[in-house]
């Protein structure tokens, strides 16, 4: 049976004979010297001394990358470094989330009136409303309403479902508070966009939508646009 040598290659042995192999002590000394000579105080990253401080990079006069320490909430320095999840909405005078939550309600049939829209396929929004969790608050900032035909006037209501009770006929009656009534105007239209709303939804709210009487809408669909409300200090 042939055997295989596990010895080192001749070229590698020659290199070790000529240049040697550094010990761990020699490597530590070389690293310490490198840090002392090649990394000056200006070249090292500065250390934030307070909890509210962050690092900010910039290009110095020598066109080199440099770092400095700034306050995280400084409107000119800190807020340009970090991306906050919210912004100050001047029109609504509150802090709102950067992301928009879109809730779709619809009915895929003709002649819809005096009934709740669907929140999920086959289930009406009064039965399965869109709920606000504890500790949260949302603001309805816009509505987009579409139908296959045209309609005018008050077409639907945003409702907060507050309870339910069974009737003697076996049906269910839903108790509610009206939050907003969508009026598309006097002209007959098939599409409406409202982007200036400020309907607040507190924790525990159960958002639903109801087509009003005498509307006669074919395949109505509505997209509610919401933003989370942040309790942030100015």
Greater confidence, 77 or 180?
180
Tokens of 83: 């991306």
Q: Are residues 127 and 67 part of one domain? A: no
Neighbours of 74 (CB within 10 A): 15
- Structural domain contains residue 88: no
CA-closest candidate to residue 59, choices 67, 51, 69 = 67
Distance of CA 221 to the CA centre of its chain: 24
Q: Are residues 24 and 140 part of one domain? A: no
Q: Are residues 98 and 61 part of one domain? A: no
Q: How confident is the model at residue 49 (pLDDT cuts 50, 70, 90)?
A: confident
For 151-198, what is each residue's pLDDT tens digit? 999 999 999 999 988 766 667 899 999 999 999 999 999 999 999 999
When divided into structural domains, the chain yields a total of 2
Q: Cα separation of 223 and 108, whole Å? A: 14
pLDDT of residue 76: 66
pLDDT of residue 233: 57
Backbone φ and ψ for 66, nearest 5 degrees, come out as -130, 165
- Structural domain contains residue 1: no
Domain of 102: which CATH number?
A: 2.60.120
* 3 state SS of 56: strand
Q: Which range has the worst mean pLDDT, 13-22, 72-81, 124-133?
A: 13-22
Q: Cα separation of 80 and 209, whole Å? A: 40
- Structural domain contains residue 79: no
Q: Are residues 47 and 107 part of one domain? A: no
9 pLDDT higher than 80: no
Q: Which range has the worst mean pLDDT, 33-42, 91-100, 119-128, 181-190?
A: 33-42
- Structural domain contains residue 225: yes
130 pLDDT higher than 90: yes
- Structural domain contains residue 77: no
Q: Are residues 121 and 213 part of one domain? A: yes
Q: Cα separation of 51 and 30, whole Å? A: 35
Strands 115-116 and 206-211: antiparallel
61 pLDDT higher than 90: no
- Structural domain contains residue 217: yes
Q: Are residues 40 and 150 part of one domain? A: no
Residue 146: give the domain boundaries. 94-230
pLDDT of residue 15: 54
């Amino acid at each position: 049976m042939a055997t295989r040598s596990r010895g080192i290659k001749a070229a590698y042995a020659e290199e070790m004979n000529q240049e040697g192999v550094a010990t761990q002590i020699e490597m530590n000394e070389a690293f310490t010297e490198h840090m002392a000579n090649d990394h000056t105080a200006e070249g090292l990253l500065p250390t934030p001394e307070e909890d509210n401080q962050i690092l900010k990079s910039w290009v110095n006069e020598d066109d080199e990358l440099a770092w400095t320490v700034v306050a995280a909430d400084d409107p000119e320095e800190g807020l340009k470094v970090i991306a906050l999840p919210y912004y100050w909405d001047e029109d609504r005078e509150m802090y709102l989330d950067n992301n928009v939550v879109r809730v779709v309600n619809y009915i895929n049939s003709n002649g819809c009136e005096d009934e709740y829209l669907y929140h999920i396929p086959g289930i009406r929004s009064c039965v399965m409303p869109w709920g606000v969790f504890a500790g949260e608050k949302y603001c309805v900032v816009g509505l987009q309403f579409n139908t296959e035909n045209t309609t005018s006037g008050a077409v639907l209501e945003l409702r907060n479902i507050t309870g339910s009770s069974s009737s003697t006929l076996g049906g269910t009656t839903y108790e509610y508070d009206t939050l907003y009534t969508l009026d598309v105007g006097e002209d007959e239209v098939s599409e409406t966009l409202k982007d200036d709303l400020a309907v607040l939804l507190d924790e525990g709210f159960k958002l639903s939508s109801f087509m009003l009487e005498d509307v006669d809408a074919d395949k109505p669909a509505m997209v509610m646009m919401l933003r989370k409300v942040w309790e942030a200090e100015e």
